[in-house]
């Protein structure tokens, strides 16, 4: 953790003493250097951004809509398109339940502020996307944790045991598809059981579906929101299916909560960037998103398979790896303990390869996590994946 030093005599809010930039943000500086081959971040493949079509959409908006550069109300047409997108995920909703946000990250922050009292408990997995921890941090919550099975997802026996013993978390955070960092998707049986528990105990679920559209094998399973309307707050994003720089996401929430969420959002950033909302709507109007997502799925499936094959060739025998059906990440457990911090340092300095050590995502540290790493497979092309996994493999053979 970095030391936070306030100018002399200045008192910072007490909760900020516990915060630091996430390891991922710190890695951003390293991993985006041109000479580094990065498996570290959750970056979409830049060469696959639909730049031409998006430029056309932007030019159209700027030349025809006078208010595109103005403060603005949430874009109604965009909400209607999101309702159609949600139908592709099997979610039935209407545009009055759609709340536009500045990315999925803001959705998490707003919902945390809506649902969580200071010091109250929230339920998260022991190994989890650090963004949710940053969203709840200002409220200094009590973190209740449950383990995750690498094949079927969140341990629901543990969830049920916590709830049955009287804990009443403000919400449960769940990534049903393409878990970040573990790569796992919740089994259908667990999805049904999780929403049943939410209903039974009256606990809202924040369903983070950042990777739901990026499925690679069979037909995707229904998100939790398709199984339960009242207790699931669905969070979606254009970051991974269009481009993260646009900073647009959305939530599907009960209509009755839209006005309080609007007030919370106003205090946070007034409104989601008007230009992004309108250009996304114009791009969606061109009807190209479904084909673009299909292209991404094909490209990322190939990259995932390339990485898995390369690991079989180059990584030490006994390495365990998730087989993700969605998303952008492989979770790798090495057969023996290694000093991950040192490994990362050498990987970056000598081999020019970056990854994220597993502990960067741990709320509750354990032995398996200390010999784990998260690898992104979406960002590098297949040739670079083979090259990079080969070089990492060399390093691991020396270390193990
Ligand atoms: C699970 C998960 N949720 C949310 C986000 C943040 O998404 P956005 O760019 O929409 O804020 C990410 C980004 O990597 C993510 O992996």
pLDDT band at 369 (very low <50, low <70, confident <90, very high): confident
State if residue 236 touches ligand 1 by the CB under 6 angstroms criterion. Answer: no
* The predicted structure's pLDDT at residue 179: 98
Beta bridge partners of 145: 124
Q: At 172, is the secondary structure helix, strand, or coil?
A: strand
Q: Give the H/E segment covering residue 88.
A: helix 76-88
Residue 23 reports pLDDT greater than 70? no
SS3 190: helix
Nearest residue (CA) to ligand 1, atom 15: 210
Q: How far is the CA of 105 from the centre of ligand 1 (A)?
A: 6
For 235-270, write each residue's pLDDT tens digit: 999 999 999 999 999 999 999 999 999 999 999 999
In 3D, which of 277, 247, 223, 212 has the Cα closest to residue 70? 277
Which atom, in ligand 1's list, is nearest to the CA of 175? 1
| pTM of full prediction above 0.85 | yes
User: How far apart (Å, rounded) are the C-alpha atoms in residues 340 and 392?
Assistant: 12
- Token representation of residue 46: 């830049």
189-217 pLDDT, tens digit per residue, is 999 999 999 999 999 999 999 999 999 99
Q: What is the CA angle 388-125-139, rounded to 5? A: 110
Q: Is the pLDDT score of 126 beyond 50?
A: yes
Alpha carbon distances (Å) from 389 to 133, 313, 336, 358: 30, 9, 18, 17
Indicate which residue's Cα is closest to atom 3 of ligand 1.
210
Alpha carbon of 104 to ligand 1 centroid (Å): 6
Whether the CB of 104 sits within 6 Å of ligand 1: yes
The DSSP symbol for 347 reads I
DSSP codes joined into one string, 4-68: P-PPTTPPPPGGGGG----HHHHHHHHHTSTT-EE-SS-PPPGGGS-HHHHHHHHHHHHHH-GGG
Pocket test for ligand 1, best of 40, 110, 129 (most atoms within 8 A of CB): 129
- Please give the distance, rounded to the nearest whole angstrom, from the Cα atom of residue 66 to the centre of ligand 1: 31
State pLDDT tens for residues 66-91. 999 999 999 999 999 999 999 999 99
With b for 16 or more beta-carbon neighbours within 10 A and e for fewer, the 281-312 pattern comes to bbbbeeebbeebbeebbebbbebbebbbebbe
Q: Which two tokens stand for residue 190?
A: 């667990």
CA 38–ligand 1 middle distance (angstroms)? 18
Q: Give the H/E segment covering residue 357.
A: strand 356-357
103 lines ligand 1 (CB under 6 A): yes
Mean pLDDT, rounded, for 375-397: 96
- Flag whether pLDDT at 2 surpasses 60: no
User: For residue 341, what pLDDT is reported?
Assistant: 85
Residues 6+ apart with CB under 8 A from 53: 283, 286, 288, 292
């Amino acid at each position: 953790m970095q030391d936070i030093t306030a100018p002399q005599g200045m008192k910072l809010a007490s909760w900020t003493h516990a915060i630091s930039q996430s390891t991922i943000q710190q890695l951003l500086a390293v991993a985006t250097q041109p000479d580094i081959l990065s498996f570290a971040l959750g970056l979409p493949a830049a060469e696959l951004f639909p730049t031409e079509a998006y430029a056309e959409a932007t030019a159209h908006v700027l030349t025809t809509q006078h208010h595109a550069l103005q403060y603005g109300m949430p874009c109604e047409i965009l909400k209607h398109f999101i309702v159609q997108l949600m139908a592709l995920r099997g979610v039935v909703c209407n545009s009055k339940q759609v709340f536009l946000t500045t990315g999925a990250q803001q959705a998490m922050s707003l919902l945390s502020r809506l649902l969580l009292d200071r010091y109250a408990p929230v339920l998260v997995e022991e190994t989890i996307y650090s963004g949710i921890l940053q969203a709840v941090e200002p409220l200094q919550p009590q973190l209740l944790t449950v383990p995750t099975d690498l094949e079927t997802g969140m341990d629901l026996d543990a969830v049920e045991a916590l709830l049955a013993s009287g804990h009443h978390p403000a919400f449960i955070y769940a990534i049903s598809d393409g878990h970040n960092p573990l790569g796992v998707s919740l089994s259908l049986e667990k999805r049904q059981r999780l929403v049943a528990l939410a209903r039974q105990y009256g606990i809202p679920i924040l369903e983070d579906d950042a990777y739901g559209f990026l499925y690679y094998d069979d037909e995707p399973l229904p998100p939790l929101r398709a199984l339960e309307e009242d207790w699931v707050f669905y969070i979606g994003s254009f970051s991974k299916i269009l481009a993260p720089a646009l900073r647009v996401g959305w939530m599907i929430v009960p209509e009755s909560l839209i006005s309080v969420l609007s007030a919370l959002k106003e205090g946070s950033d007034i409104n989601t960037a008007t230009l992004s909302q309108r250009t996304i709507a114009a791009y969606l109007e061109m009807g190209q998103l479904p084909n673009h997502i299909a292209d991404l799925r094909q490209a990322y499936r190939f990259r995932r398979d390339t990485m898995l094959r390369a690991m079989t060739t180059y990584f030490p025998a006994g390495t365990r790896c998730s087989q993700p059906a969605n998303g952008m990440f492989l979770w790798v457990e090495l057969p023996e303990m290694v000093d991950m911090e040192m490994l990362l340092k050498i990987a970056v300095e000598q081999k020019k390869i970056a990854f994220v050590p597993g502990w960067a995502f741990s709320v509750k540290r354990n032995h398996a996590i200390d010999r784990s790493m998260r690898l992104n497979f979406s960002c590098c092309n297949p040739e670079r994946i083979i090259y990079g996994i080969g070089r990492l493999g060399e390093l691991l053979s020396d270390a193990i």
